[in-house]
Amino acid sequence: MEGRQGSLPYNNSEQAKAEHFNNRKGVKYMHNDRVCPKYNEPVLPNENGNCTLCGEEIFNVISVYSLQQAIKDGVLVEAFDEQTEAFTAKYVNGKPVVATTHLFNQVSHADLLDLWNRFIVWRQDIMPTLREEDRMFTTEINGKKVWVDETEAVVTMMYPEDY
């Protein structure tokens, strides 16, 4: 049984990886031209085409690679069935929970549920104590590192290399 501390291996190398991931995340969940994901307010671009609220570069909605498209393309799958999702949604403001197809095919349903439970404990007890840029849940399933990433729109379970 892994202790809570054991599921938070935040050494410098982990942090560097998380930062790298966050930098690349912009490619996948780009700032659209409707709502600022950071402030949840309608956005206006400044003279450089960046968000006046958070400074991120703004992309047209049509160029955003959507969750639905990622599922359609087989990159992501819904992590849980409808009944389980009704339960999980209560903990993450109704956001969908998805997994990379890679992870989903390698682990059992029980593994995903266990991962979810560990994430929720971390989210409630540990996450609020971390700086925003450090808020990436890291743990292991069957000796392999997995991440749970929560954005404004979705919770994604993945192997680090899936990015």
Asked if 153 and 163 count as a contact pair (C-beta separation under 8 A), the reply is no
- Which residue lies nearer to Zn ion by CB, 30 or 115? 30
- Which residue lies nearer to Zn ion by CB, 18 or 58? 58
* Measured distance CA(67)–CA(112) in Å, rounded: 19
Q: Least distance in Å: CB of 148 to Zn ion?
A: 24
- Which residue lies nearer to Zn ion by CB, 36 or 158? 36
Which residue type does 48 have? N
Q: Least distance in Å: CB of 66 to Zn ion?
A: 18
Beta strand residue intervals within the chain, DSSP E: 35-36, 41-42, 76-78, 97-100, 137-141, 144-150, 155-158
- Which residue lies nearer to Zn ion by CB, 56 or 140? 56
Q: Least distance in Å: CB of 61 to Zn ion?
A: 14
* Measured distance CA(68)–CA(106) in Å, rounded: 22
Q: Least distance in Å: CB of 24 to Zn ion?
A: 18
Q: Least distance in Å: CB of 85 to Zn ion?
A: 28
- Which residue lies nearer to Zn ion by CB, 38 or 135? 38
* Measured distance CA(8)–CA(150) in Å, rounded: 16
Asked if 122 and 8 count as a contact pair (C-beta separation under 8 A), the reply is yes
Query: Which is it for strands 155-158 and 76-78: parallel, antiparallel or unpaired?
Result: unpaired
Tell me which residues touch Zn ion (CB under 5 A).
36, 51, 53-54, 56
